[in-house]
Chains A and B, each alone.
Chain A
């Protein structure tokens, strides 16, 4: 009895384990299936925070959340098309890695095929033209020379110069091929004329004095025919090409630097491609002008952390350096500390009342402080009295004009501001 019961219990346990593992397996299978479906949808979506990575490939947090969202929506019973439509409704068609074949997107689908067809068609057309030009009626040759060539073909091999022998051999093979039916009558005629002419020319050049007078030179004939008018046209073409190249180069030289932001050190790649690296000054340097210059560059490159370290170092060297103080203030202002920025600007101005950076920054702080617009305007007016580049002057001028406008509106609070 006991053994029977224990064996039954064992079978029960075994069954339970079997069912359990089966359930686990199906669950794991379902999970894998879901993962594959998520990956498939995510592979068609562009990650919004990367450059040209799909949501499947991107390691970013945003892409991870998007994958989780896709999984949730699949689990909720939404179809892949509905999920794609959801993302399109949020980010626009931009989010799709392959654009839909509608409207402007259709152009993207059609253009490459069209380009390929046009390119192949153009290439075929050009090739046909070349082939026809190659098969153009050959230059007239001596009938006697032709007859000699024909005789040679049917004769036993004789002492011929290498080129002549090769052509005669070619003619023999041609005839053989034609008889064997490997060549059409038309092709045979065309090729035979070509070979015979060449062979006749080779023979003629043999019989004539090698570097004789060009009076009756059959070889010179085709070249002489093309001569009239050609040099003038070619010169014109060269001039046009040169003009185009100069124009193209100037356009690139003008637009590229405007479109590409230079990095620290003045190189577009920051020395990354050339391996020279940016000759970054160690922050421990005591070279004040170099520290300021590098700090300015770091600010231009939006590297505020490095700029801050460089200007702080400059202030360790000279605690009251007005430009370094003013730049420190500008960084603090960017970081959202206008009050601390203002003290820096005031300190810079106490040492150098005409510091352009300090005047500019102080104006900025004051213009954002309610009720101080008038003071900001006076500060900027003082700045305009300094020696500024035309670009800076225009910028300050436009900001000043806006501030004056705002002051007028603040003076008449009854009138509603609307733009």
Chain B
């Protein structure tokens, strides 16, 4: 074989391999792409912290903002005030904000709600069953559910106001996002 041909073969094998490895370094190994976007939101019945319970099916016809959180998670704290502000801005419309507390204890969770003066409904997901149903792997994780009960957008990590308003508007119009969003998050236990 000609020497240049041999060199070409070596380069042809080594370059893609190195490129593949380099690409691997740019990925977040914890990230799990969700297969749920565009699919019907898994139904659940959530016992609420101020009594009563909330069935997701009963919210059909409304846009649902579903936020998984825990009191020990700094990005959840960072976005808490913003979520409450967005809720107050949108509460007159056909929008429901719902918080699901997970991997937490009830006392710090209640203290968290008091501290940030949260007025939208919150419940505790005992046994993480709802979390597993939604494929949660880090918090905060937020799902936007459109009027037909379909997940239109998913965001892992802290949200900002612009994304909330834009994605609520998209959910209202039934527009499904192609990609999920990402911000500062904490891995769950």
**Chain A: residues with CB nearer than 8 A to chain B?**
48-49, 51, 60-62, 65-66, 68-69, 88-92, 94-95, 233, 236-237, 240, 244, 248, 251, 255-256, 259-260, 304, 333-336, 338, 368, 370, 402, 406, 416-419
List of B residues within 8 angstroms of A417 by Cβ: 165-166, 169
Give Cα A188–Cα B121 distance, bound, in whole angstroms. Answer: 92
List of B residues within 8 angstroms of A256 by Cβ: 25
Give Cα A66–Cα B137 distance, bound, in whole angstroms. Answer: 12
Give Cα A237–Cα B10 distance, bound, in whole angstroms. Answer: 12
Does chain A have a CB within 8 A of B57?
no
Question: Which of A92, A255, A370 makes the CB contact (< 8 A) with B33?
Answer: A92
Q: Write the chain A residue with the least CB distance to B39.
A: A89
A90 touches B132 (CB 8 A): yes
Complex interface bits, B67-111 against A, C-beta within 8 A gives 1, otherwise 0: 000000010011111100100000000000000000100000000
Does chain A have a CB within 8 A of B16?
no
A91 touches B35 (CB 8 A): yes
B187 touches A259 (CB 8 A): no
Q: List 27 A-B contacts (CB under 8 A).
A: A49-B138, A49-B187, A49-B188, A51-B30, A60-B188, A61-B189, A62-B137, A62-B189, A65-B128, A68-B127, A90-B132, A90-B133, A233-B3, A237-B3, A248-B18, A251-B18, A259-B22, A259-B25, A259-B26, A304-B74, A336-B74, A336-B79, A336-B81, A368-B82, A402-B162, A416-B169, A419-B166
Question: Which of B22, B29, B85 makes the CB contact (< 8 A) with A255?
Answer: B22
Q: Write the chain A residue with the least CB distance to B35.
A: A92
Does chain A have a CB within 8 A of B135?
yes
Question: Which of B32, B42, B77 makes the CB contact (< 8 A) with A336?
Answer: B77
Does chain A have a CB within 8 A of B120?
no
Q: Write the chain A residue with the least CB distance to B112.
A: A336
B22 touches A62 (CB 8 A): no
Does chain A have a CB within 8 A of B34?
yes
Q: Write the chain B residue with the least CB distance to A369.
A: B85
A69 touches B132 (CB 8 A): yes
Give Cα A237–Cα B131 distance, bound, in whole angstroms. Answer: 58
Interface of chain B residues 3 through 35 with chain A (CB within 8 A): 3, 7, 11, 18, 22, 25-26, 29-30, 32-35
List of A residues within 8 angstroms of B82 by Cβ: 368
- A54 smallest CB distance to B (angstroms): 15
Considering only CB atoms and an 8 Å cut-off, how many residues of chain B contact the other chain?
45
B32 touches A240 (CB 8 A): no
A69 touches B129 (CB 8 A): yes
12 additional A-B pairs beyond A61-B128, A256-B25, beta carbons within 8 Å, are: A49-B138, A49-B188, A62-B103, A62-B132, A65-B129, A66-B132, A69-B129, A251-B22, A255-B22, A260-B25, A417-B169, A419-B169
Give Cα A66–Cα B127 distance, bound, in whole angstroms. Answer: 9
- A316 smallest CB distance to B (angstroms): 24
Complex interface bits, B115-132 against A, C-beta within 8 A gives 1, otherwise 0: 010000000000111011
Give Cα A45–Cα B136 distance, bound, in whole angstroms. Answer: 15
List of B residues within 8 angstroms of A334 by Cβ: 74, 78
- A71 smallest CB distance to B (angstroms): 12
Q: Write the chain B residue with the least CB distance to A333.
A: B78
Chain B CB count within 10 A is highest, among A49, A69, A334, for: A49
Give Cα A288–Cα B80 distance, bound, in whole angstroms. Answer: 34
Q: Write the chain B residue with the least CB distance to A69.
A: B132
Give Cα A417–Cα B90 distance, bound, in whole angstroms. Answer: 13
Does chain A have a CB within 8 A of B161?
yes
List of A residues within 8 angstroms of B138 by Cβ: 49
Top-9 shortest CB links A-B: A336-B77, A259-B25, A90-B135, A419-B166, A48-B137, A65-B128, A92-B35, A61-B189, A91-B135
Give Cα A335–Cα B81 distance, bound, in whole angstroms. Answer: 11
- B95 smallest CB distance to A (angstroms): 14
List of A residues within 8 angstroms of B103 by Cβ: 61-62
List of A residues within 8 angstroms of B129 by Cβ: 65, 69
- A255 smallest CB distance to B (angstroms): 5
Q: Write the chain B residue with the least CB distance to A59.
A: B189
B134 touches A90 (CB 8 A): yes
Does chain A have a CB within 8 A of B56?
no
Does chain A have a CB within 8 A of B36?
yes
List of A residues within 8 angstroms of B42 by Cβ: 90
Give Cα A419–Cα B138 distance, bound, in whole angstroms. Answer: 27
Give Cα A166–Cα B85 distance, bound, in whole angstroms. Answer: 95
List of A residues within 8 angstroms of B74 by Cβ: 304, 334-336
Give Cα A65–Cα B130 distance, bound, in whole angstroms. Answer: 11
Contacts A91-B135, A370-B85 known; A65 to B127 CB distance under 8 Å? yes
List of B residues within 8 angstroms of A368 by Cβ: 81-82, 161
Question: Which of A90, A335, A419 makes the CB contact (< 8 A) with B78?
Answer: A335
List of A residues within 8 angstroms of B81 by Cβ: 336, 338, 368
